[in-house]
Structure 1
């Protein structure tokens, strides 16, 4: 200003010609909560500390590898339970070591593999405990893990695979806390939920009905659930072996009895099986084979041994779908944008859904009087396994029925909130109002051009209002309040496409 000049001369004054730009926030940064082998990076502890990673290799460096899942087997005495494998004419079932529940296992590591296989990228890991010989997954640990995310700004999704190892009541409590965290506390995150026991059919013990009945009604538009679980190809044959057996002596006795009955137990094979049962043998001695050598021989020459390992692999490959869906969200966001519904997308490393769903059976999943829509994962001939639903749990809401609408609004709200922080304590006058309005208009125009907003023109897609007697009263200004009103028409998916056919009269 002229009054500030004291010495004659030429002074250069630069003025900004353009308002601040709005930087679009990340939309696909999930936070995974669960148990890991270790939690340490270069001597720094990471236990109960949210940590950002970008690949499975980084996860292994900081949190270790897969848990050791051990199985024991017993004769199948229940005619309604299918056999996991047979030895001779006798059927057997596999059960995890001292398992309190059929689902009692650590899911996080395998779920992370599924996440990255399906397009996952940067994410946060919250390790709430280490592996134990007998899985001991606690609701309190997982709830504490959710609270640890309150101070983190970047995560946009929350996924808790290990909640599926809890009882149904405890799992629902964790999921309710997740929805509360996303929709009531942070209001800028989306919960991707699994259905407890979602590998079961919807018969007398309907897992979907139990989920809907117990979930409650809080913050439903901030979450989505998927059914059924997935038969994956994440665990390979090389990932199971002698270490997967609780009792190797029992395995030896089973194979010896079968081969003896069949008359195929040679002296060489008998010696190999004796070594299988002798866990204290010194493999450095020439007369002994290593575990790896024993495993390869038995896998190739004893079909029952191979069948047991394949049955173990099938059980370990049964995984809840939420982590895969977090990967799909990331893939779709990066390729098309957060406004594209994360549906009609094939799942990688998935063999089939655990339950086949028909068109009629999906009707109740998608539309229900309770409004708690559950998205189906279905198998289609020639197309593989597809995500065939795009609804939030608030399925009766016209505002928040669709996942992409909710997540697009989160992105727009967060982007503009962070951008307008620069104007806190600025003069509440027309100059500031015009600047904020221009900044918002430029950002929303960019979103509209990329297909995020519906309308033939920007004027049809959104409007930004700010000003005295428009969004504010004189009292608002005296109280230091600057109000901005933004209306947006978020694009919605074409969930139902109707093609009408009608016969017409012959014309020639």
Structure 2
């Protein structure tokens, strides 16, 4: 598992005259995280997550579609996944979501070992009303191909998953009787200086943490981590050396990529350390967090840590033409020319730069400044040596420094928030109320967990229907029986949609087990399609041991016996219908049965398997009639 939950969107928090929450809206910008939680809560186990990158500030449909397309391409390479779903797809327009469903169904058809769980997109989920237009849009855009390899579920579900709401989520968003509130002036006693001071410092911590996180996110862009950025720049340096291919007539690309590595490290020092230490209004950090950082970066004698001293030494080394070639990299970072905003840091940097670079541990060629291939080769080797002996140590030092800054901010914010929630009860009550609010989710995550639970408890041949969903308060839409019937049986094109219903005394149940091929008697039910997937994949893997074995009667008997034993076991477990095995399945292989002499000449062994899979009793019909009295 990687990553975490997306930020919550909290709005419209208004308190009444008694200081309790009157209205509030809490929603998640994305559904994947909570859908994954519902998957595990409902019985799910091992699963694959294909990352599309970091949560963007705003959902961009075209980027999401392109990401899912790439993700499906990666999934083709994996053999284990058997269920496909993408909960955030419901944020797309109906036509784009339909396009993704079509792509997923095509993959399921080609591989024959996986199944799509599709969410029916609801245009206005907050209204919690049935709209025929949602159903029509889904059925229209999913097309007519490969429908037996997917099932659709409706409506969304309201879940009671625990969530964490922080003060930062509601900062500046709480009103009382529609008027903005000031926690200090409105809810803290004027004589309680401790609480007032703590609140003021806490506001600084929250603001500092938010500014730092924003700066880091802007710096990273679409890159996942600082380590990824660093490794990319190092790889570019080694790639530039490899491109030389033994010819050193032009080493400018090597110098450029060498400079990029060090400039990246200097940017970390500039954009995050110096910008955090500056004491004017533009500083990233204030208060306690800034003080902690200053202690880490500068000793009592205003001396830099070893890794930063080495970073200054690299600049001195890189300006020496005898080490890196003629001309030296005089423009490397230009630390003296940079505007440093924290005086003590600037003085420590200048002190380190004034020292001669310590060449200890290096084996530099005495002079790499000549205008010859050997001299330029020496320069390349020297730059490689500086990278190899300094870069990782310096990056790790800076990385740990920034990591500790983030950890300090988180720990300090947590401790201070816990204390303030105790000191300001109204604030604590607001956050508790928001944490207890239910969330609206597309059902695919919970349904995937239900599939896994039924598979483990009963077997893949049991229809995943008439089963309850855990952590679900209720479906978002209540349906009349006639509407339920219209969704379950599509009289026009057979695109069945399985309904999730609430039953008094039972909870919320999945009340449908059809595939999207509802008019196809052979592939109407989810359990039948998935059972065939399972048997097909199992037999395929089991028969791999016979590839390149003699294609003769002895091998045919072994293959037939192996598959028959497997199917007999499934029959005994109740997966196949029939009083005896001959009624439940058959396996045929052999010349004159499933193969012609040409098949054998061309290296084919053809095995035919027939299955009488058990089918669910979808409707129970009770017939009653009058009986005349006989006595």
Q: Per the shorter chain, which TM-score range?
A: 0.7 to 0.9
For the 8 Å contact 1:249–1:276, the answer to whether it is kept is: no
Structure-to-structure mapping, 1:481-500, within 5 angstroms: 481-500=604-623
Q: How does 1:54-453 map to 2 (within 5 A)?
A: 59=1, 63-73=2-12, 87=16, 94=25, 105-136=29-60, 138-183=64-109, 185-197=110-122, 199=125, 201=128, 203-204=130-131, 206-236=133-163, 239-245=164-170, 248-251=171-174, 254=176, 257=179, 267=189, 275=199, 279-280=203-204, 290-296=416-422, 300-301=425-426, 306=429, 310=433, 314=437, 317-369=439-491, 370-453=493-576
| Secondary structure in structure 1 of the residue aligned to 2:499 | strand
CA contact (8 A) 1:192 1:223 kept: yes
Structure 2 regions of 5+ residues with no counterpart? Answer: 206-286, 290-414
SS at match of 2:468: coil
Q: Judge conservation of contact 2:576–2:614 (CA < 8 Å) in 1.
A: yes
| TM-score, normalisation: structure 1 | 0.74
Higher relative contact order (CA 8 A, sep 6+): 2
Q: Residues of 2 paired with 1:109 and 1:476: CA distance?
A: 51
Structure 1 match to 2:322: none
Query: Deviation of residue 294 (structure 1)?
Result: 3.6
Distance change >3 Å, CA 270–CA 91, structure 1 → 2: farther
Distance in 1 between residues matched to 2:616 and 2:178, nearest whole Å: 60
What is the rounded CA distance, in whole Å, between the counterparts of 1:160 and 1:187 in structure 2? 19
Q: 1:184-211 deviations in whole A, cap 9, x for unaligned?
A: x322100111111274656556322211
Q: Secondary structure at the match of 2:72?
A: helix
SS at match of 2:116: strand
Distance 2:600 2:609 in 1: 19
Query: Any idea what the Cα deviations from partners look like across 1:377-412, whole Å, max 9, x if unmatched?
Result: 100000000010000011110110000000000011
**1:175 touches 1:193 (CA, 8 Å); kept in 2?**
yes
Q: 1:167 deviation in Å?
A: 2.9
Per the alignment, in what secondary structure is the counterpart of residue 394 of structure 1? coil
Taking structure 1 as reference, are residues 255 and 135 closer, same or farther at Cα in structure 2, changes over 3 Å only?
A: farther
Change in 2 beyond 3 A, CA 1:438/1:278: closer
Q: 1:150-192 deviations in whole A, cap 9, x for unaligned?
A: 1111111112122223333322222221111112x32210011
| Alpha-carbon distance change, 151 to 503 in structure 1, aligned in 2, over 3 angstroms | same
Q: CA deviation at 1:273?
A: 9.6
Q: What TM-score comes out, normalization by structure 2 length?
A: 0.60
SS of the residue corresponding to residue 487 of structure 1 reads strand
What root-mean-square deviation, in Å, do the aligned CA atoms of Structure 1 and Structure 2 show? Answer: 3.3
Distance 1:268 1:256 in 2: 24
Separation of aligned partners in 1, 2:437 and 2:162: 8
